[in-house]
Chains A and B, each alone.
Chain A
Amino acid sequence: MLDLFLFGFVAGLLALAMRRPFIAVLAYLYVDIVAPQKISYFLLASLPISLIVFVAAFGGWLMADDKRDARFTWRQGLLVVLLLYCGATTLTADFPVEAAAKWAWVWKALLFAIFLPLTLRTRLRLEGALLFMVLSAGSIIITGGIKTLATGGGYGALHFFVSDNTGLYEGSIISCVAVAIIPLIAWLARFGTVFAPSRAVRLFAGALIFSCLLIPVGTQARTGLLCIALLGILTLRTVRHRMLYLGAAGALAVIAVPFLPDSFTKRMDTIENHEADQSASTRLAVWGWTLDYVKDHPLGGGFDAYRSNKLVIKTQDAETEGNTTSIDSATITDQGRAFHSSYFEMLGEQGWPGLFLWLLLQVSGLWQMERLRSRWRKRAAGPDAGPQVQWQAPLANALQQAQVVYLLGSAFVGIAFQPFILMLIGLQCGLWSYLRRTDAPTARPVRRGVTVGPRPPQATAAAPPA
């Protein structure tokens, strides 16, 4: 039954794409995030559905979509360079078979991130892509949220539709992503036009945000808690009544603690006392190993290079009873431990050039969103500002906040090429390109002698100073 339903849903989307090719792009976002072929047992599971939808999306764009407004931004160029570089390191990888397996999905995720902005030509398309990403991730998050409320969850114990530790179905990854999309949900609830603001929309958005906050509790991923704290601080920047917000957030935290499961508070305590925690100590040991490794391999060891590490980890657990403190020391040996950090993942796998490219991609996103935010905030505050200039700055801000949360979460989880995040980068490129194009005539005052026709944005933008 579920099989038929999911098959019908994807088939329905593709049928709609016959009329509007952009729907196929949305279908790809959905398939890549929800992975219905993994939930399904036979129908979708037996089809190369991801490939079919990608061909529909790309083919539809190539044959039927208007490409006059499509712009190739320099950050997409950066993604192309990163793609080529990763391809090169895969050819010389330490572990060719494992590297090829990771390359098999990384190149697709990068390619789609390069392609996505070309299709995001209108405001409605930006909103549609965002809506599909949020609702698709929401299908996993709502399940996790309800199960957390019912059972309290547990590290590695919270089951989503599939017990598959890939994509968004892995506990730490969904924790980070769930918190990162909170600003995007808030934006959709405020400025959405597909589901225009109403009491029902606000109620759903509120419940979804609550679910997002429950995911780190349910998966007991410490990363998620840090992400929530960071998002709380970031929100201070835009919130209207700061003192009220601080008071409410503090009160909420105090009220929430007694309701958190015991196992959760115990696990979160290890953030402070990390020496007692093997998982945290292993991380520090792997990061040390990576720094040593790149001294000999500055260009990286290709995907999955961590497999060659051998670690000796010392843990210390201090327990105080009355006046006496006893310290339990233990030495653990381990090998082939994953990087558990996107920064070290990039450094170990792609070396210094790869880390530099990746950081440039991230930092340039923060910078672009900051520029858009400040420009459109001024525009929105102008005397003759209408409703059509109100949504841009908050969207840039939401995309920036999502990225900052991701950049913190990714310090503890190896998600440098997580497709969902690459889609967010694609959205940033799309928004940047869209606003630069539509903004051209008014943002850069045109001096005498230059007339603006119905569709000459480049001519105006490139007009030589008189």
Chain B
Amino acid sequence: MVDYFAIGLTHLLLALAAWRLVLRRDLDRDPEAEETQGEPPRA
């Protein structure tokens, strides 16, 4: 019973995490990094 609970809970969270990751554009492209790189350098 405990085993099933632990497997169920963590796999649910893993599945939800995978789903949310797939929907996010910044998984493959980092807007933050591109912004930083695009900034003019500070003197």
Contact = CB atoms under 8 A, between A and B. Distances in A.
Interface in B1-43: 2-7, 9-11, 13-15, 17-22, 24, 26-30, 32-34, 36-43
Interface string A445-464: 11000101111110010000
Contacts of A23: 18, 21-22
Contacts of B38: 452-454
A131 B17 contact: yes
B14 A147 contact: no
B14 A135 contact: yes
A124 B24 contact: yes
A121 B30 CA distance: 8
A334 B41 CA distance: 66
A441 interface: yes
Contacts of B29: 66, 122
Interface string A332-372: 00000000000000000000000000000000000000000
A6 to B, nearest CB: 8
Contact of B2 (A124, A147, A434, A454): A147
A139 B10 CA distance: 6
Contacts, number: 126
Contacts of B30: 121-124, 438
Interface stretch (A9-17, A84-92, A227-235, A312-320): A9-17
B33 to A, nearest CB: 4
- Residue with the highest number of chain A CB atoms closer than 10 Å, among B4, B33, B36, B43: B33
A453 B39 CA distance: 9
Nearest to A435: B33
B10 A136 contact: yes
A135 B17 contact: yes
Interface size classification for chain A: 35 or more
B22 A452 contact: no
A452 B21 CA distance: 30
A239 B30 CA distance: 30
Contact of B17 (A2, A195, A438): A195
A9 B37 contact: no
Given A2-B4, A139-B11, A124 B17 contact: no
A460 B37 CA distance: 10
A142 B17 CA distance: 18
A143 B6 CA distance: 6
Contacts of B34: 454-455
A27 B11 CA distance: 12
Given A146-B2, A438-B32, A135 B27 contact: no
B21 A455 contact: no
A161 B5 CA distance: 11
A295 interface: no
A150 B34 CA distance: 51
A438 B21 CA distance: 21
Contacts of B17: 128, 131-132, 135, 194-195
A438 B37 contact: yes
A194 B13 CA distance: 10
A216 interface: no
A437 B32 CA distance: 12
Contacts of A283: none
A26 interface: yes
11 contacts: A5-B11, A6-B7, A39-B7, A125-B27, A143-B3, A194-B17, A441-B36, A442-B42, A450-B41, A455-B34, A455-B37
Given A438-B30, A438-B33, A454-B37, 16 more contacts: A6-B11, A9-B15, A16-B22, A22-B28, A66-B29, A121-B28, A122-B30, A122-B33, A124-B21, A135-B10, A136-B14, A140-B6, A142-B6, A438-B37, A442-B41, A457-B37
State the 7 A-B residue pairs at the shortest beta-carbon distance, nearest first. A139-B10, A122-B30, A438-B33, A142-B6, A143-B6, A446-B41, A146-B2
